[in-house]
Amino acid sequence: MVTDLEHVQALRNRILQTLRAEEQAWESRRAELQHMIEVLGNAPDLLKRLGIESPSIEPVERQAGQPPTRYNLTFTKDVAEYVAAFPYDEVIRIKPMLETLKREKGLKGKDKSLYAYASQILSRMVEKNEQNLTHQDGIGYFKRRKQDATLAASIDPEGSFTT
């Protein structure tokens, strides 16, 4: 009869064998990749010696009327500008913001990815307290006005102004 200790040892040995097999497979793959890198590094010299000109890469021409591809290089800046132009104390919703940026700035990408990235940018802005942006769970992002210290000090606890 197999004891629990023997079962545990057999399982441990099986896992160790699997690990060794994976390490050997990785080393083999690593050596193959290293060889490919060396061959590709020597390819330009070999082509020159054989007298073969390297093909020139021609740019893909756009069709007339087709807007240029936008790679969202200024996405963070565009989100910050949108927040800056947004009115105070109103909820900033991400989906309408993305639709506006698509329409006005030519934003490209999958909606889910853009939403996640915009959410990350807004969260960072809240953490850094940029543009007085705050977040409330279940509601969204808000741009708050700064509390004026003199105004706050001039209001007594009952809510009336003191002079």
Please provide the distance, in angstroms rounded to a whole number, between the alpha carbons at the two ends of the chain. Answer: 92
**48 plus 98 within the same structural domain:** no
154, 161 Cβ separation under 8 angstroms: yes
86 and 159, same domain (yes or no): yes
Residues 93 and 157 in one domain: yes
- Number of structural domains (the chain) is 2
Model confidence at 90, pLDDT cuts 50, 70, 90, reads: confident
Residue 19: which pLDDT band, with cuts at 50, 70 and 90? Answer: very high
48 and 80 in a common domain: no
- Distance set, CA 73 to CA 44, 87, 107, 122 (Å): 32, 25, 10, 17
Domain match, 102 and 131 both: yes
Q: Of all helices (H) and strands (E), which one includes residue 28?
A: helix 4-49
Given a cut of 60, whether residue 157 has pLDDT beyond it is: no
134 pairs with which residues across the strands? 142
Angle at 89 between CA 155 and CA 108, to 5 degrees: 155
- The whole-angstrom separation of Cα 57 and Cα 42 is 20
Residue 148 has pLDDT above 70, yes or no: no
The verdict on residue 158 lying in a domain is: yes
* Residue 132 domain boundaries: 64-163
Looking at residue 6, its pLDDT comes to 92
CATH number at residue 125: 1.10.10
User: pTM for this one?
Assistant: 0.47
Cβ atoms of 86 and 122 within 8 Å: the answer is: no
Distances in whole angstroms, Cα of residue 36 to Cα of each of 43, 50, 54, 74, 89: 10, 20, 19, 36, 58
DSSP-derived secondary structure letter, 62: P
My answer on whether 34 and 81 are in the same domain is no
Same domain, 48 and 74: no
Give the C-alpha separation, 163 to 161, whole Å: 7
Whether 59 is covered by a domain: the verdict is no
Tokens at residue 149, please? 């210290």
Same domain, 3 and 44: yes
